[in-house]
Amino acid sequence: MKITILGSGTSQGIPVIACGCEVCTSSDQRDDRLRCSVLIEHEGQNYVIDAGPDFRQQMLRVKVKTLKAVLFTHEHKDHVAGLDDVRAFNFIEDRDMEIYCTPQVEEALKREYSYAFAEDKYPGIPQLNINIIGSHPFSLENDLVVQPIEVMHYKMPVLGFRFGDFAYITDAKTVDDSELEKLSGVKILIVNALRKEPHLSHFNQDEALEFIAKVNPGQAYLTHISHLFGKHEDIESGLPPNVGVAYDGQKFEIDYP
C-alpha cells in the first residue's frame, strides 16, 4: 500500500493570502502546504481522504488518472470544497464516484452541492454515490478494510481512518480512550498539530506529542500545519526521533495487511 501526502496545511494553506511572514515567504518547498488530504493506493485502486479546495490541483500534481472513492473526515469547507471536480473521473471512468461519510457530512454535501442531488439534474454535474459510515469497520475494493477512529474537533465529531498499519487523523482536539485502543500496533501515524500555542479545536504540538506517545507508533508525522507553527526545518528540529513533519508530496509504503 502506498500513501502520498496531497496536502499538509491548515484551512488557509501556506502561503496564506497577503501574508509576508518568514514561513509564507520561505524558499523551502516543504513550507508550501495545500489543504489537508492523502492519497491511498492499494492493488491498482486509488482512494482520497478529503477533497478540499485544492483537490483539482492535487490530482493534477500527483497525476492521478483513476479514483475509486473519496472518504470524508468531516464537513468543514477545507475538507469538502473540491468535491465538484470529481466530475472529471465520472467522465473518464463512466461511473459514479463512491463517497464514504457520516450522516452529518452527507447532510452538508446535500446542502452545499444541492444541484448534484436534485431530482432534475443538470448535465455535467458530479455523479455521487453516498455510502454512510460510522464507527464500525467497512471494506473498500480488494478487501481493503478501513477502521474509523472517532475524534472530537471541539464539539464536532470527526473521523480518522486506519488502513492496516497506517492511520490518519486530522482536526482532532480530544480522543476517548476507547478510540485510542483502535490504534494499537499502528506503524505509521499521521496526526494534526496546528501550532505550538493551544487552540480551541486542534491539537497543538505538545498535545499531539502526548497523543503520539500514547499510541506509540513506529513513526509519526504531524500535519494540518499553520504558518504560525514555524518553518518545516525549525519544527522538525525540536521533535523526538520518531516524529517528523509531513509535507506535500511525501510518500510512504507499508505492507497490507
At residue 189, the 3 state secondary structure works out as: strand
Which CATH number belongs to the domain containing residue 70 in this structure? 3.60.15.10
User: What is residue 195's predicted lDDT score, i.e. its pLDDT?
Assistant: 98
User: What is residue 257's predicted lDDT score, i.e. its pLDDT?
Assistant: 85
Cα-based torsion angle of the residue sequence 192, 198, 202, 207 in order, rounded to the nearest 10 degrees? 50
- Judge whether 257 lies within some domain: no
Q: What is the CA radius of gyration of the chain?
A: 17
- Judge whether 256 lies within some domain: no
Q: What is the number of domains present in the chain?
A: 1
User: What is residue 106's predicted lDDT score, i.e. its pLDDT?
Assistant: 98
- Judge whether 231 lies within some domain: yes
Sequence-ordered list of residues with C-beta below 8 angstroms from that of 29, at least 6 positions apart, any chain: 247
User: What is residue 223's predicted lDDT score, i.e. its pLDDT?
Assistant: 98
- Judge whether 11 lies within some domain: yes
Structural domain harbouring 223: 2-250
Give me 120's grid cell. Answer: 432534475
- Judge whether 93 lies within some domain: yes
- Judge whether 161 lies within some domain: yes
pLDDT, tens digit (0-9, with 9 covering 90-100), for 73-121: 999 999 999 999 999 999 999 999 999 999 999 999 999 999 999 999 8
Q: Is pLDDT of 142 > 90?
A: no
